[in-house]
Structure 1
């Protein structure tokens, strides 16, 4: 099947490469010439494990190409819209300019029977509006909403072997002709046992917003428990283990720490709240305001704990922050808690150095005033205090005895609760975790 993918950012580039891997003939389209140039050379403009290798592999087959020319969608039966929906400046709502622009540019090239498939995370009601627009141009074409559920660092696997597929079609009918076409697109994962659910447009749009909101709620819940544990002298890690054994709750996403960040969870829960307010259902989601508040409060708490660790003052204290990306196996620094904390520490007088295996270039664009060092040994040399804020494997595996020889002070704050506290203390370190005695 010939497929076009409109928008070649994180979602689109991964989706285009994976669709080609599944055997389809794919053309990826984006207005950014530099992005297209990089992808055409089998280089992803961002870090995602396995993606460069996948791009090289499928481009070698001739099934994948990239261009800025929208007319190259000609011949495609299915058109995926994969553009970003950032948060509006000064507001909580989602900015749909890129979605609308993609649709408007695509419409003149739609043929009878074509399928336009939205994958971008959008406020409920967007699909219905775009479906009406599509029917005006091409009454026999169809619009489907097919939300993505990618995890950064695992995006290739999540696309090739998703844990579920959701098709949002008019009236949610299994007999809709779009269902048969999408089943052919995803024939590989479906043959491997991926469950598939057909819904109406609004339900499909809400699935991603609801899933992200639930995950954010779970993270903020355990971080709220960390606050209680600190006040009570309890251990939030053991608490999470205990309640996670209840199969109604589960252990995943119950890791207390500095909170969530990235380009999805924070902006998606805010957009969800904003849209619920527009629909008159704002009271149903008021708890998300506290979820967001707890999450942002974690950053302030880390700054407070660092000050305590430094003897009550940050002025002139040399702090090395281990991690800039919002999560490991990614170079994404959007709404990164680690970078936010580093910037706050510097504003309060600390001398901050940030290191990260992949994200320093992006971090320097966001916070050019911070000092960055790619070499780990150089970054920690002479540090008075270490802060582990992104749980890259190489930081989790640090040997406290070896690290001792390169630092000026034996103080470490484990912002992700991933280190062996007993081992670090045995090596002479003053160790602090979050929600741990």
Structure 2
């Protein structure tokens, strides 16, 4: 059922449930303090809950306990320090302490792609649930939040029944996350929906109590937060289905960019025109070098793998083409680079030896330092493999980029990256790059050639400044 809470009257409440710890409201733990778990832990402390964040990584826990967020997310550092000081938030590497403290345990560990296939690697989920269950001494609710294959919640129930004393009555539920990097604080405090998969009224009531701070905040701001109460399988499918849809939408407009390039159309105008249709909308219709990050690529592959296991592989066959379109856009940048630099494209690819190329962007999106499966970094590596002298700059992602691609050359500023470059590739749409003055940049480069891999630059302005401009799926602008 879907419960849209009206904002013109008090938020309705579920029947009161007994909080196992005896606290006035459930105490919460978040197992895994990566991007997902740390953000949720900090933000729920901000909502007034007593929270503990758990991780086996001692260095990460020490950093968080010291008031520093180990990744870039706007606004999160201030919230971390404020809630550490208030005493509502703490961090631990002890399963025993975490089990003793909390009533609701959210599983937020990573589910990366398996090394031997497309499926999700659930070893971290298994380890966290197994170790937690062994230390529980009273009734608790274990809630999955990581993105997992459908059927995982039932498997976790089996793990709990095997490792937790039966007389405790420990229950399992599922509540997927919908965070957007760069907007995660807002997404936790002011979500556009909450989805819970439950099997009992007690689990439903505990999850409502664990989210009451979200609903109370919405009521004070006269907003609605729809709550979808459903079964395990549907709750697990919501996140992967949403990501599959978004990935499909991005690859669709990138496929249209390929058509525009051969037909002479402008994909930015095409996207604007179809985006006015309310059935389509204009979000995720930005053609460019495609999607990346730690969610969409691995999630659509894991979704395909799980559907195949369930005998429904044909239903998601289209996601294979979505993935191929996405990867093809990266290759397109290398091809464009060869064309602009006047290099032939041989059987082994273009030879870019002796050319200097500036790559602006390493993170997979702006306002993030996440370089996992980042198209920008993949393109930079491909250009270097073709023989180019590549200089990379990103406002926030340099440290992670150096770990992921240590053989590339990194610079400390955009000016340093573009100085002496024969080609500039804008591959992450940071405001610093979008708003760069093409006249000033033109005085630093060896040749005025630019590839706008995100279609984020003013093409006419750059052309008027004497640049050879190439966008993705866009005609060459007139100077």
User: Structure 1 CA distance, aligned partners of 2:415 and 2:101?
Assistant: 54
Q: Partner residue of 1:325?
A: 363
Offset at residue 129 of structure 1 (A): 1.1
Counterparts of 1:69-108 in structure 2, within 5 Å, are 69-73=94-98, 74-108=100-134
Pair 1:365-2:394 in alignment? no
Pair 1:22-2:24 in alignment? no
SS in 2 for 1:219: helix
Q: Partner residue of 1:153?
A: 182
Q: Partner residue of 1:202?
A: 233
Q: Partner residue of 2:140?
A: 114
Contact 2:307-2:313 at 8 Å conserved across structures: yes
Counterparts of 1:31-430 in structure 2, within 5 Å, are 31-73=56-98, 74-136=100-162, 137-139=164-166, 140-170=169-199, 176-191=201-216, 192=218, 193-312=224-343, 314-430=352-468
Offset at residue 349 of structure 1 (A): 1.4
Q: Partner residue of 1:12?
A: 37
Deviation string, structure 1 residues 144-183 (Cα, Å, up to 9, x no partner): 100000011111111111110000112xxxx621111111
User: Structure 2 CA distance, aligned partners of 1:200 and 1:135?
Assistant: 19
User: Structure 1 CA distance, aligned partners of 2:466 and 2:280?
Assistant: 37
Offset at residue 138 of structure 1 (A): 4.4
Contact 1:353-1:370 at 8 Å conserved across structures: yes
Contact 1:123-1:205 at 8 Å conserved across structures: yes
Aligned residues between the structures = 433
Offset at residue 90 of structure 1 (A): 2.8
> More deviation in 97-106 or 69-78?
69-78
SS in 2 for 1:386: strand
Contact 1:273-1:286 at 8 Å conserved across structures: yes
Deviation string, structure 1 residues 14-41 (Cα, Å, up to 9, x no partner): 1110111111111111100000010001
User: Structure 2 CA distance, aligned partners of 1:75 and 1:338?
Assistant: 43
Q: Unaligned regions of 5+ residues in structure 1, if any?
A: none
User: Structure 1 CA distance, aligned partners of 2:131 and 2:139?
Assistant: 18
User: Structure 2 CA distance, aligned partners of 1:430 and 1:198?
Assistant: 54
Offset at residue 113 of structure 1 (A): 3.2
User: Structure 2 CA distance, aligned partners of 1:146 and 1:374?
Assistant: 41
Deviation string, structure 1 residues 178-209 (Cα, Å, up to 9, x no partner): 11111111112223121100010000000000
Contact 2:130-2:159 at 8 Å conserved across structures: no
Q: Unaligned regions of 5+ residues in structure 2, if any?
A: 1-25, 219-223, 345-351
With the length of structure 1 as denominator, give the TM-score of the two structures: 0.97
Offset at residue 112 of structure 1 (A): 4.0
Deviation string, structure 1 residues 317-344 (Cα, Å, up to 9, x no partner): 1100000001101111111111111111
